Amino acid sequence: MTTTSNHHRTETVSAQHRVDSDLDIEVWVIDDAPSAACIERLGDARRLASAMGAHVAVLMFGTGSEVAQELIHHGADLVLHTDRSSGIGTKVRTTVEVLKAYQPRVVFAGGNPQAREWAALLAAGQDWLLVSPALIVDWRDGELVVTCLDHSGRRSCRVAAREDQTVVITMRPGVAEAWPAETSRRGELRKIELSVKDEQVAQSQILPADPATVDIRYANRLVAGGRGLGSKPGFDLLRRFAHALGGGVAASRMAVDLGWIDYERQVGQTGKTVQPDLYVACGISGASHHIDGMSLASHIIAINTDPEAPILKKAHLGIVGDLYPVLENALRRLES
């Protein structure tokens, strides 16, 4: 059954009372814009309403009357719209104010995250049944049956609604089928006022990771120590230097094997591959397995007493000398 109206009216009404209409509206579509997915859901809503012997209404937010008219062509008998967008709180309150006067049987909502939130808040606030995501909505011998996906998303199941139960369903794009447009089709078009509600304001802040504890794979600056440190306490100096640079501490396999530092700090083929902006290699000879783990660093500084150490050939800046006086002099400048 395709229901048509012989008149088309556009006026503004409050969202807080029933629109003056003779239509028996049991099926609703709620959305932010008459997108292709919205028109698909409207098609399924139209077919369901026809089987029920009822009418279809659309509640649309942030949409002008000219665009809303398209929804009538695709099966809506009544379109209520506001050309103002709103937050989720105002949207839910306005939806409740409009729908509660009609005692709707089915409410179709979208499948994107914002629409699912809208549907969930609406259903929870009114103690209505939420089915999400739905695949098929049928009217069988006076009973509303919704086929939907289960929680795994891999199997379908059927939900039968009680006669006195309002069902809010969400449908993903491409699931429903649009009703062919009938440009001669007439319906009622009304502009409504929002029932404004204070909105929650969310603030987000990015907290930088502590360079001393962050995984070395994600550190921007690294100071790495090897056997040339001479002992485990040598890493205390490296930690001071790394802290002054705003970086973390890494190590060669030899330093790890000697028990001077934890394995999670090891760079190389048997450790981790790093790509920091700055890599300072202290007392590391530069065996091939270590070079493979840090060769992509943007800037490499190497300190070694051996002028033939392979690491010096890879470094952008090489310092031949005892690492302790070099680091201590650098620290005095950084900490002054």
Is residue 252 assigned to a domain? yes
143-149/156-160 β-pairing: antiparallel
Assess whether pLDDT exceeds 50 at residue 17: no
Is residue 2 assigned to a domain? no
Same domain, 180 and 240: no
Assess whether pLDDT exceeds 70 at residue 14: no
- Which helix (H) or strand (E) segment is 255 a member of? helix 253-257
Q: What is the pLDDT of residues 273-302, one digit of tens each?
A: 999 999 999 999 999 999 999 999 999 999
Is residue 254 assigned to a domain? yes
Same domain, 16 and 165: yes
The answer to whether residues 295 and 269 touch, using CB atoms and an 8 Å cutoff, is no
Is residue 211 assigned to a domain? no
Assess whether pLDDT exceeds 60 at residue 4: no
Q: How far is CA 241 from the centre of its chain?
A: 39
Same domain, 291 and 254: yes
Please list the alpha-helical segments (H only) found in 53-137: 65-73, 88-99, 113-126
Who has greater pLDDT, 34 or 85?
34
Q: What is the pLDDT of residues 210-236, one digit of tens each?
A: 888 999 999 999 999 999 999 999 999
Please list the alpha-helical segments (H only) found in 284-322: 288-294, 310-314
Same domain, 25 and 100: yes
**Tokens describing residue 55:** 């009418």
Same domain, 48 and 181: yes
Assess whether pLDDT exceeds 70 at residue 11: no
Provide the domain count of the chain.
2
Same domain, 28 and 160: yes
Assess whether pLDDT exceeds 50 at residue 5: no
| Full residue range of the structural domain in which residue 315 is found | 216-335
Assess whether pLDDT exceeds 90 at residue 174: yes
Is residue 202 assigned to a domain? no
* Separation of alpha carbons 137 and 148, rounded Å: 9
* Separation of alpha carbons 283 and 311, rounded Å: 10
Mean pLDDT of 55-63: 90
Same domain, 243 and 321: yes
Is residue 199 assigned to a domain? no
Is residue 285 assigned to a domain? yes
8-state DSSP, 267: B
Same domain, 302 and 170: no
Q: Which of 122-136, 205-219, 266-280, 298-312 has the lowest mean pLDDT?
A: 205-219
Average pLDDT value over all residues in the chain: 89
DSSP secondary structure letters along 192-214: E-----PPP-----PPPP-TTTS
The answer to whether residues 29 and 108 touch, using CB atoms and an 8 Å cutoff, is yes
Bond before 104 cis per omega within 30 degrees:
no
Same domain, 169 and 36: yes
Mean pLDDT of 30-37: 91
Assess whether pLDDT exceeds 90 at residue 30: yes
Same domain, 277 and 182: no
Same domain, 183 and 224: no
What is the reported pLDDT for 279?
A: 98
Assess whether pLDDT exceeds 80 at residue 10: no
Q: Give the CATH number of the domain where residue 318 resides.
A: 3.40.50.1220
Same domain, 87 and 229: no
Q: What is the pLDDT of residues 249-282, one digit of tens each?
A: 999 999 999 999 999 999 999 999 999 999 999 9
Percentage of the chain with pLDDT > 70?
93
Q: Which of 16-20, 115-119, 168-172, 303-307 has the lowest mean pLDDT?
A: 16-20
- Which helix (H) or strand (E) segment is 159 a member of? strand 156-160
Q: Give the CATH number of the domain where residue 156 resides.
A: 3.40.50.620
| pTM confidence score | 0.58
Residue 167: strand pairing partners: 106, 129
What is the reported pLDDT for 82?
A: 86
Is residue 4 assigned to a domain? no
